[in-house]
Amino acid sequence: MTRDNPKDVLFEKTTAVFAFGVLFLAVLLFALLVRESLPSIKKFGASFLVTKTWDPVAEDFGALTFIYGTIVSSFIALLLAVPLAVGSAIFINEFAPEWLKTPVAFLAELLAAIPSVIYGLWGIFVLVPVLRDYLMKPAAEYLGWIPFFKGPVYGPSMLAAGILLSIMIIPFILSVSREVLATVPSIQKEAVLSLGGTHWEMIRIVIGQHCIPGIFGATILGLGRALGETMAVTMVIGNRPDILLSVFQPGYSMAAVIANEFTEATGELYLAALVEIGLVLFLLTFVVNLAAKWILKSMVSRASRGI
């Protein structure tokens, strides 16, 4: 097989067209979002990003409350999902007996296949009432002096959205983490154990050396899903455009406001403001991924130097 084989060349060119097609689509999407949001960008400028008001009647728009809601709900989701997912990945890969491995892994990964509207319905009918009566109400009563847990308790809230999101992103982080753990050569694990290391030391050393960048990558994958999740979030977050410190209070996210208001939005400026929220979400995801790539790169280089 030489490189000049015409079939090879054809194959190479075809795949190149596909690759550039994807790139072209992303650029096109960005250009379209910018074009459609121009009226809003011209009217509000940078203040769009730092204004809390969202008033469709007076046509006065700012995205700050939605940006805050998206970031905080995703942050809560990561806070809960990462330890759970990484912990269960370690258990499944390192400790679980063979007969338990497959069913647990299968069921955990099955969570990824459930449509988000099902998560939303489950959130409304099961998660929110349970959280409200058994977690939020007692917490607000006894810990209400902490600003994060201040009442009154309604049910739909930033916390409910964060918890629901965490359940939705666990399978992604879990399965990638398992792949990463599986790449560790067993000879290294055995080496640590043979030197008298405990299981805990083995996992700490092996993960510290090998797996942190991969698990970080898995986390970013989960974050990407959490930032953009729409349906399930809008069903439990309370859809209140406000910035309230307490996680028991309702909030709003960027994806949710687009889903809620786009169909009935009339008027050029209103539509443009909604599209601009889409643009901000696009850029936020872009920046998060770019930052993740950069951090990952420095991690990998540090890890490889460590060995």
Residues that bind other proteins (CB under 8 A): 53-58, 124-125, 128-129, 132, 152, 154-156, 234-235, 238-241, 250, 252, 256, 259-261, 263-267
Distance from C-alpha of 27 to C-alpha of 40, rounded to nearest angstrom: 20
Contacts of 211 (CB under 8 A, 6+ apart): 177, 180, 181, 184
- The residue with tokens 């898995």 is 218
Cα separations in angstroms, 212 against 2, 219, 287, 300: 40, 10, 21, 9
Distance from C-alpha of 44 to C-alpha of 263, rounded to nearest angstrom: 22
Distance from C-alpha of 173 to C-alpha of 54, rounded to nearest angstrom: 35
Tokens of 81: 């999902």
The answer to whether residues 157 and 242 touch, using CB atoms and an 8 Å cutoff, is no
Closest CA to 260 of 279, 243, 274: 274
Distance from C-alpha of 239 to C-alpha of 252, rounded to nearest angstrom: 5
Tokens of 251: 């909030």
The answer to whether residues 172 and 112 touch, using CB atoms and an 8 Å cutoff, is yes
Distance from C-alpha of 184 to C-alpha of 180, rounded to nearest angstrom: 7
Phi/psi for 55 (5° steps) reads: -125, 95
> Given CA atoms 176, 181, 182, 184 in this order, what sign does their dihedral have?
positive
Cα separations in angstroms, 158 against 77, 163, 166, 221: 10, 9, 12, 21
